[in-house]
Amino acid sequence: MISKCMSLVQMGPPDPILGVTEAFKRDTNPKKMNLGVGAYRDDQGKPFVLSCVRKAEAQIAAKKLDKEYLPIGGLAEFSKACSQLALGPDNEVLKSGRSITIQTISGTGSLRVGANFVSRFHNASRDVYLPKPSWGNHTPIFRDAGMQLKAYSYYDPKTCGFDFKGALHDISKIPEKSVIVLHACAHNPTGVDPRPEQWKEMAALIKKRNLLVFFDMAYQGFASGDIDRDAWAVRDFIEQGHNILLSQSFAKNMGLYGERVGGFTVVCKDVEEAKRVESQLKILIRPIYSNPPMNGARIASTILNTPELYKEWLVEVKDMADRIITMREMFVSNLKKEGSTHNWQHVTEQIGMFCFTGLKPEQVERLIKEFSIYMTKDGRISVAGVTSANVGYLAHAIHAVTK
């Protein structure tokens, strides 16, 4: 009976990124490198738990708190600090109370709640415009929520940089009231971000087209090392009058990956609208998971709300960003030392955890087979997987397949 139904369930395609890690694990080459991993590694190639996180955990443990359910919208102190981090504590939006921020299951959970909300309440349009390319999971998130996916030009493979003209051109044609997803900083997977003056033009054009802006900010602090600088685009758009949707993640910038800490914000017209939106977000969330997990939110909240821990966090997130930037520089100088004549400027111009090397699938294939260097087929590497010990080998291998 039920077997008949289940027999129609097909084996799903294997996850592309997981496949990289699986193959990496099987490889016995001592020089192997896993550059698929989307998680920060220290200079020994090890996972890194921030010291401010350990301290926050100790503080929390000492309080012997109970484990009662959080409210549907999550830990209030967390949500408040989360929105302040993104918008800046003096933001007019926060002062007027015209936004609602709820705790979510990291960035993915935030995007999905947003997608579901848009699907249910944004009746003016079913279309969500993603940059080309975008994070792979954006597509199923919006699609499973009932939205239609479209794209606007973003990455220019010729320059390995931002296709500003192409983006403006495409955006100028987006039908009014469509949803447009913007990566706030450290674009995933390309690492290519617009410059401030480019953001300004985009903001003006998007306003003209009357689009609903949905910012995905998964790397605040992690991109440049400066939390205000990384949030600049979000804040500028709000100043320009865009009432945005915003997803935040603390997976990378606080290293809280598996604790699943994130926030979803809706900037509204006024307090009254924010209250209506909040009530509907709760109605939407209750039948998905009832209320969010407490542990990570308590850690993040403790860090954001305890001055010494907050300071320490800013230093640690800057260190992570700096190490990434250093690896980019070492990578390029090693390539030059190897004798590569290609232009690798984009490696140091791109920002954040990922780098679109510009390598072709055949070259990626060779890197895997001949050098045990693993990355996704699109030539994306996680710079977090590069260390001062293996950057030379990486440069050597890449030179070998591109000379």
135 is catalytic: yes
How far from 42 is each of 39, 192, 327, 331, 388, CA to CA, in Å?
10, 23, 11, 16, 10
Instruction: Give dist(CA 284, CA 279) in Å, integer.
Output: 9
Q: In terms of C-beta density within 10 A (0-12 exposed, 13-18 middle, 19 or more buried), how is residue 270 classed? A: exposed
Q: Considering beta carbons, is residue 83 or 99 the nearer one to a second copy?
A: 99
CB of 156 to a second copy, least distance (A): 28
Instruction: Give dist(CA 237, CA 219) in Å, integer.
Output: 18
Instruction: Give dist(CA 355, CA 43) in Å, integer.
Output: 18
Catalytic residue, from 127, 170, 216, 230: name it: 216
CB of 345 to a second copy, least distance (A): 32
Catalytic residue, from 127, 193, 199, 252: name it: 252
Nearest C-alpha neighbor of 210 from the set 153, 125, 131, 138: 125
CB of 206 to a second copy, least distance (A): 10
Q: Residue type for 266, please?
A: V
Q: Considering beta carbons, is residue 193 or 316 the nearer one to a second copy?
A: 316
403 is catalytic: no
Q: Considering beta carbons, is residue 122 or 126 the nearer one to a second copy?
A: 122
Instruction: Give dist(CA 92, CA 106) in Å, integer.
Output: 26
Instruction: Give dist(CA 324, CA 318) in Å, integer.
Output: 10
Q: Considering beta carbons, is residue 6 or 307 the nearer one to a second copy?
A: 6
Instruction: Give dist(CA 230, CA 221) in Å, integer.
Output: 6
CB of 180 to a second copy, least distance (A): 13
Instruction: Give dist(CA 338, CA 334) in Å, integer.
Output: 6
Catalytic residue, from 32, 55, 127, 135: name it: 135
Nearest C-alpha neighbor of 356 from the set 343, 368, 366, 346: 346
CB of 272 to a second copy, least distance (A): 9
CB of 157 to a second copy, least distance (A): 27
Q: Which residues of 45-78 are buried (b: 16+ CB within 10 A; e: fewer)?
A: eeebebebbebbeeebeeeeeeeeebebbbbeeb
CB of 289 to a second copy, least distance (A): 4
Three-point CA angle 165, 168, 174, nearest 5°: 145
DSSP class per residue in 158-192 = TTTEE-HHHHHHHHTTSPTT-EEEEE-SS-TTT--
Instruction: Give dist(CA 171, CA 377) in Å, integer.
Output: 28
Q: Considering beta carbons, is residue 128 or 395 the nearer one to a second copy?
A: 128
Q: Considering beta carbons, is residue 69 or 90 the nearer one to a second copy?
A: 69
Beta strand 99-105 with 148-153 is unpaired
Token pair for 303: 């860090």
Q: Considering beta carbons, is residue 1 or 26 the nearer one to a second copy?
A: 1
252 is catalytic: yes
CB of 313 to a second copy, least distance (A): 15
Q: Considering beta carbons, is residue 255 or 379 the nearer one to a second copy?
A: 255
> Hey, what's the torsion of the CAs at 65, 69, 71, 75, to 10 degrees?
30
Task: Indicate which residues carry an active-site annotation.
Answer: 135, 216, 252
